[in-house]
Amino acid sequence: MTSMIDPFGRTVEYLRVSVTDRCDFRCVYCMAEDMTFLPKRELLTLEELERLCTVFVSKGVRKLRLTGGEPLVRRGVMELVRNLGKLIETNQLEELTLTTNGSQLARYADELVAAGVRRINVSLDTLDEDKFAKITRWGRLPQVLGGIEAARKAGLEIKINTVALKEVNEHEISSMIDWAHGEGFDFTLIETMPLGEIDEDRTDQYLPLSLVRSRLEEKYSLIDIPYKTGGPARYVKAEETGGRIGFITPMTHNFCESCNRVRLTCTGTLFLCLGQEDAADLRTPLRNSEANDLVSAAIDEAITRKPKGHDFIIGRNQAPSVGRHMSTTGG
Ligand code: SAM
Ligand code: SF4
């Protein structure tokens, strides 16, 4: 087994793949209401995405996460999931996961399990129907809760991801924790990151998790635990519920020193860091040779350029740190 090691000695073994930039929601912190999406002809086919994933796996990737946009709205995506799932059966891949808004889970949960998916992350920022409609602009809460229920029945392990949003859900966080833990789900909070132009001012949305944590400590006894899922979250256990709470703090705490991941977009662009523009085009070498040597060399070259870290800043009238939206690179 080969491995990809970057100039800072970090082994890259986690690939996130944004299979589409499209979505059936328009979350206010993620997208503008009126988005221009990539023309279909610019997308890699699902076969090409699978080929690229397989090359990454042969180079040492052990965990693969499909994301987007909304991964489950890309037509035919289950074929990709099934084929990648076969890499788990043959022990080439440790884990295949998905980050989803939950809207299509009622339809796909059983198929995901059959394909070898064991865990999923579902993004959910509120349990209040009106707020949910406001945050997602196009989403409906009952559909998502139905999807989560279907996922649970299918046997998927579920982690709820919640973006902490000032004034919007900041006073609901502990009731969401009680709900998630009551259902047996892990719960992770995320700070908003300055990615892409949106219609609102990010300063109005940003809520530092250091503040959220100190408020939670008034209600729960939080115990730091070494639990890891391969992602950047730091976990605590809430004694009162027995459940886990994760904190993803790109703004208040820089976790780049342990970064083990790279991100592939649906056009075959490889981003070496969520918060930097540096990228490599893998589509050209992929299409220029039926063998994988060109694309493998392009990946090796890209890994030598993996930056040390991001430098996100959120301030009034501040341009986004990177111009692309989270839905391009995938969360
Ligand atoms: N559509 C799927 C979903 O919502 O789970 C997958 C893609 S979405 C871009 C992945 C994650 O990124 C979601 O949990 C979402 O809340 C988060 N996200 C989107 N924009 C963000 C931003 N600017 N800052 C922090 N998190 C963001
Ligand atoms: Fe879509 Fe996910 Fe972005 Fe919301 S966060 S608009 S569900 S991609």
pLDDT tens digit sequence for 110-152: 999 999 999 999 999 999 999 999 999 999 999 999 999 999 9
pLDDT, average across residues 229-246: 93
pLDDT, average across residues 217-239: 93
pLDDT of residue 113: 98
pLDDT of residue 228: 87
Cα distances from 263 to residues 14, 57, 71, in angstroms, run: 9, 13, 14
Residue 81 has pLDDT above 90, yes or no: yes
In a 10 Å sphere around its CB, with 0-12 CB exposed, 13-18 middle and 19+ buried, how is residue 119 labelled? middle
At 134, is the secondary structure helix, strand, or coil? helix
- Asked if residue 3 belongs to a domain, the reply is no
CB 160 within 8 A of CB 105: no
Q: In b/e form, how buried is each residue of 82-102, taking b as 16+ CB within 10 angstroms?
A: bbbbebbeeeebebbbbbbbb
- Asked if residue 53 belongs to a domain, the reply is yes
Q: Residue 223 carries which DSSP code?
A: E
- Asked if residue 77 belongs to a domain, the reply is yes
Would the CB of 202 count as within 6 Å of ligand 2? no
Number of domain units in the chain:
1
| C-alpha 140 chain-centroid distance | 21
pLDDT of residue 213: 96
Would the CB of 139 count as within 6 Å of ligand 2? no
- Asked if residue 110 belongs to a domain, the reply is yes
Q: In b/e form, how buried is each residue of 27-41, taking b as 16+ CB within 10 angstroms?
A: bbbbbeeebeeeeee
How far apart are alpha carbons 20 and 27 in whole angstroms? 16
What residue's CA is closest to ligand 1, atom 21?
30
16-72: per-residue pLDDT in tens? 999 999 999 999 989 999 999 999 889 999 999 999 999 999 999 999 999 999 999
pLDDT, average across residues 286-315: 88
How far apart are alpha carbons 316 and 56 in whole angstroms? 39
pLDDT of residue 330: 59
- Cα 230 to ligand 2 centre (Å): 22
Task: Mention every residue, 6+ apart, whose C-beta is less than 8 A from residue 74.
Answer: 19, 20, 22, 46, 68, 266
- Domain that residue 301 falls in: 10-329
165-220: per-residue pLDDT in tens? 999 999 999 999 999 999 999 999 998 887 777 787 777 788 989 999 999 999 99
- Cα 49 to ligand 2 centre (Å): 21
- Average model confidence (pLDDT) across the chain: 92
- Asked if residue 5 belongs to a domain, the reply is no
Q: Is the pTM of this model over 0.85?
A: yes
Query: What are the tokens at 205?
Result: 């949305």
How far apart are alpha carbons 265 and 147 in whole angstroms? 26
Would the CB of 101 count as within 6 Å of ligand 2? yes
pLDDT of residue 277: 79
What residue's CA is closest to ligand 1, atom 25?
192
Of 30, 179, 170, 205, the residue nearest 101 (C-alpha)? 30
Which of the ligands is closest to the CA of residue 72? Answer: 1
How far apart are alpha carbons 307 and 299 in whole angstroms? 14
Q: Residue 137 carries which DSSP code?
A: S
How far apart are alpha carbons 232 and 215 in whole angstroms? 22
Would the CB of 25 count as within 6 Å of ligand 2? yes
pLDDT, average across residues 78-99: 97
- Asked if residue 16 belongs to a domain, the reply is yes
Would the CB of 328 count as within 6 Å of ligand 1? no
Give the whole-number percent of the chain exceeding pLDDT 90.
77
Query: What are the tokens at 43?
Result: 């997308």
Domain of residue 146, CATH code: 3.20.20.70
- Asked if residue 17 belongs to a domain, the reply is yes
Q: Closest ligand 2 atom, CA of 26?
A: 6
- Asked if residue 4 belongs to a domain, the reply is no
